[in-house]
Amino acid sequence: MKILAVVLLALVAAPVAMAPANTALAQAAADCPAQVANLRTTTGGIVITGKKAAKNRKGLIRELDDTSAELAKGKSADAARTLADFKVKVQKLADATRISGTDAASLLGQADGAIACTSGSATG
């Protein structure tokens, strides 16, 4: 009878003990769209040089808009891949000196944070 009581107690206590972790995961997932929105704002404010500056900015913004749409659909793995594509574009612009190293570092760091957020959230 004591074993049955211990098993029942464990079954009741386990979901309660896991609740804070589930709440933290849900909070982190809720922060992902905000991180992408902040990255979009930062991207809109950086200086991009060259004849194709407007096209390059639109391309970066499009990647972030696609990321937001993927997150809204619950496709966090797709969102992480799109953010990785964004990082590649940023790095290419930095390598071509179309954006400053400081701006590139800021965008890449924010993108890494958003990728970490999406990787820690739901499925893809």
79-88: pLDDT as tens digits? 999 999 999 9
Cα-based torsion angle of the residue sequence 38, 39, 40, 46 in order, rounded to the nearest 10 degrees: 110
82-121: pLDDT as tens digits? 999 999 999 999 999 999 999 999 999 999 999 999 988 5
Is 85 domain-assigned? Answer: yes
What is the number of structural domains in the chain? 1
Is 18 domain-assigned? Answer: no
- Give CA–CA dist 115/84, Å, rounded: 8
The reported pLDDT for the residue numbered 120 is: 81
4-43: pLDDT as tens digits? 444 444 544 544 454 444 444 444 556 899 999 999 999 9
Is 15 domain-assigned? Answer: no
Residue 58, domain CATH: 1.20.1440
Is 24 domain-assigned? Answer: no
Range of 46's domain?
A: 30-119
